[in-house]
Structure formats: structure tokens, C-alpha cells
């Protein structure tokens, strides 16, 4: 039920229908992984980029492809390798000797959905080619700036955290461009049995038609922007982010000393956007503190820098975030 009338009833019903279509499509292609499903839905509704991390074989690429296949937009897949060049992503200029002119050839980044598979296998120089596209929705080729698709432009990147040889860890500047970072875990025994059953029946190999158009997704994103967020929820967001920058004020000394870098204002903005998307997914036109808390790990885990002492003592970002959520009172 709508509480404050911020969103017209017809628009709200439309958003719920589209989310349900997306859910049915995704769950037909990916077994289990409800947490991943929620994170992907929230990110694309909030028009944010997504970083997926897991060991090999846990359907990172499958999930990314499923969410993009559900929408009838332009899709590009870039398999990152150490010899991948920036021009292989954004495009280049080709000189035609017969005309004496240069022709601009756009790269695969000019799409609505871009899958960067194993992004940490590309060099830092190539990774940096995505910075302008992800943040400014534009690229520069030969001194000329070209705008990315204005309706929907979402980058879904995957990386494997356990391999070291031939990989280049993402810089803080690069990871901060991702709205969320989701870590995928192993499926349960029940889910794995379901995977075997669907594999034998050929369900995964069946081609499915998109269930949303780019225009419909664009409309859902616009509806999400109109979700009401109370001042108390906004203050809750800023207190959580502030706690990452001044952990000694909120956390116990033995835990606070492990925090090296706090979250940037981009985290605050993304918290607000993701809370609105979570509200819409939850069937509400208003955000709650739970919408913020539920996605805190995904928003902060790649924005909090921990010290070498934390690594030595086996303290990770998840423990820091848990400590912050426990210390910051919910409104």
C-alpha cells in the first residue's frame, strides 16, 4: 500500500509488475542465490554498476548474463586478459588513406549492459579506460568526447579473488565506481540438486525472450528516484558512512585500529539510491532503515580500506561493517 502518495498508483503498479517479470526470468536461469538476486535487482533499478566476486564456477557470468538478457537492450561482453588494450574497450580511430580522414570506431563499451568478465585479469592501464565511462557516462577517443547510452548504461564486472598469477588488483578509484560489490557463496545441497535436475532437463540451454524493454527499465529507474526517504533515514546513512571515517568514535579500540581508509561521499549517495530501489523491491514507496542496513555490506565492503595488521590478524571488512552497524543506532 502506498503511504505518502509520492508515486502515482499506476506507476507503482507498473514497477511491481516489471520487478516480478524480472524475478521470474532470473530465477529460471539461476538456482538459489537469493542474496545475489536482490543485489543485482537493486543495482540495476538504482542505475548502478556491479562488481561480483567468487571462486570459479559459482555462476558469476551466468547471473550477469541472465540479468542483461532479461532486458532487450544492447549487450556487450568483454573477456579481460593481460594483453587487452584500452582501445579494445572504448574504441579507436582508423585512418583511411584513400580519403585522408580518420574514422572513429566505437568499442564494446557502447552498450546498455557491459559484462567485464574477470576484470582483474586486465592491466591497470586498461582498467582505467573504464573510469570515465562508468562515472561520467562518456569516453574520449582521439580528443573527442562521446556520450554513452543515456537511458541505461550498467557495467557488471566479475573477478576471482583466489588467483594471483596474471592478475591486477583493482585500485580504490576503480572499485569506488561500483555501486555494490557482491560476494557469491557456494550453493546449498538442495540448490545443487536442483542445478543437476535442470541441467539434465535442458532448462539452462533453452533460449528465453527478454521480458523488459530498455524503455520499461528506464521508467522503473525513474519511479525509484521518486521513492520517499525520511530525514531520519538520511541521517542513519550519513552516520554509518561517517563511522567508517572516524571509527575510533564508534568502534572499540581493538577493532577501530584496523581501519585505514573510510568510505567516500559516493558511498552516501549510493546508500540513498540503493535504499530507494530496495523499497520498490519490497513493495513500498518509502525507504526504511532496514533497506539501508540490508545493503550495507554490499555498499561498504569495497570502500573500507583495512591495514596490514588487519590482514595479519585475519580481520576483514565484513567484521568492521558488522561493528559499525552494531554501534550506529537505527532510527
Q: Is 330 helix (H, G, I), strand (E, B) or coil?
A: coil
CA distance 279 to 286: 6
| pLDDT on residue 163 | 59
> Can you give the pLDDT at residue 1?
37
Which contiguous run of DSSP H or E holds residue 23? helix 9-29
Q: Which of helix, strand or coil describes residue 94? A: strand
Q: Give pTM, 2 decimals.
A: 0.86
Q: For residue range 262-318, list pLDDT tens digits in order.
A: 898 999 999 999 999 999 999 999 999 999 999 999 999 999 988 888 888 888 899
What is the rounded distance in angstroms from the CA atom of residue 300 to the CA atom of residue 293?
11
User: How does pLDDT run along the chain (331 residues), one tens digit per residue?
Assistant: 344 447 889 999 999 999 999 998 888 887 777 888 888 899 999 999 999 887 776 667 777 778 888 888 888 888 888 888 888 888 888 878 888 788 888 888 888 888 888 888 888 888 877 877 887 888 888 778 888 776 788 888 888 776 566 677 777 777 888 999 998 878 778 878 887 887 777 666 667 788 888 899 999 999 999 999 999 999 999 999 999 998 888 888 888 888 988 898 999 999 999 999 999 999 999 999 999 999 999 999 999 988 888 888 888 899 999 999 999 999 8
Residues 6+ apart with CB under 8 A from 175: 51, 181, 302, 303
How far, in Å, CA of 126 to CA of 84, rounded? 7
pLDDT at 164: 60
Task: Report the 10 Å Cβ neighbour count for 149.
Answer: 16
Q: What count of other Cβ atoms lies within 10 Å of the Cβ of residue 55? A: 13
Residue 37 in grid coordinates: 538476486
Residue range 32-189, CATH number: 3.40.50.300
Which residues make Cβ contacts (< 8 Å) with residue 34, sequence separation at least 6? none
Instruction: Report the alpha-carbon distance of residue 267 to residue 2 in Å, rounded.
Output: 28
Q: What confidence score (pLDDT) does residue 117 get?
A: 85
Which cell numbers in the block locate residue 81? 586478459
Residue 219's contacts (CB-CB under 8 Å, 6 or more residues apart) are 11, 14, 18
Which set of grid coordinates corresponds to residue 330? 537505527
Altogether, the residues listed in the chain come to a count of 331
Predicted confidence at residue 241, as pLDDT, reads 94
Dist CA 68 CA 166 (whole Å): 28
pLDDT of res. 21: 92
Residue 321: which H helix or E strand, with range? helix 317-327
Amino acid at each position: 500500500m502506498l503511504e505518502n502518495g509520492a508515486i502515482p498508483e499506476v506507476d507503482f503498479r507498473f514497477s511491481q509488475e516489471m520487478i516480478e517479470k524480472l524475478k521470474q526470468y532470473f530465477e529460471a536461469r539461476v538456482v538459489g542465490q537469493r542474496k545475489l538476486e536482490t543485489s543485482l535487482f537493486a543495482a540495476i533499478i538504482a542505475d548502478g554498476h556491479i562488481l561480483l566476486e567468487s571462486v570459479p564456477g559459482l555462476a558469476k557470468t551466468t547471473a550477469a548474463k541472465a540479468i542483461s538478457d532479461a532486458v532487450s537492450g544492447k549487450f556487450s561482453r568483454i573477456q579481460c586478459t593481460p594483453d587487452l588494450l584500452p582501445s579494445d574497450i572504448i574504441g579507436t580511430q582508423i585512418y583511411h588513406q584513400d580519403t585522408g580522414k580518420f574514422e572513429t570506431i566505437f568499442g564494446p563499451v557502447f552498450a546498455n549492459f557491459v559484462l567485464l568478465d574477470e576484470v582483474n585479469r586486465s592491466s591497470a592501464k586498461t582498467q582505467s579506460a573504464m573510469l570515465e565511462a562508468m562515472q561520467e557516462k562518456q569516453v574520449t577517443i582521439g580528443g573527442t568526447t562521446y556520450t554513452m547510452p543515456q537511458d541505461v548504461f550498467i557495467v557488471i564486472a566479475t573477478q576471482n579473488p583466489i588467483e594471483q598469477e596474471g592478475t591486477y588488483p583493482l585500485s580504490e578509484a576503480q572499485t569506488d565506481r561500483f555501486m555494490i560489490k557482491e560476494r557469491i557463496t557456494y550453493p546449498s545441497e538442495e540448490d545443487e540438486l536442483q542445478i543437476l535436475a535442470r541441467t539434465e532437463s535442458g532448462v539452462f540451454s533453452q533460449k528465453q525472450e527478454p521480458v523488459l524493454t530498455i524503455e520499461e527499465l528506464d521508467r522503473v529507474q525513474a519511479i525509484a528516484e521518486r521513492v520517499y526517504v525520511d530525514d531520519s533515514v538520511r541521517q542513519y546513512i550519513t552516520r554509518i558512512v561517517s563511522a567508517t571515517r572516524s571509527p575510533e568514535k564508534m568502534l572499540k579500540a581493538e577493532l577501530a585500529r584496523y581501519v585505514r581508509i573510510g568510505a567516500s561521499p559516493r558511498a552516501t549517495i549510493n546508500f540513498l539510491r540503493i535504499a530507494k530501489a530496495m523499497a520498490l523491491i519490497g513493495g513500498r514507496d518509502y525507504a526504511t532503515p532496514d533497506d539501508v542496513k540490508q545493503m550495507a555490506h554490499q555498499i561498504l565492503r569495497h570502500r573500507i580500506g583495512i591495514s596490514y595488521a588487519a590482514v595479519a590478524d585475519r580481520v576483514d571488512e565484513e567484521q568492521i561493517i558488522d561493528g559499525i552497524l552494531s554501534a550506529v543506532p537505527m532510527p
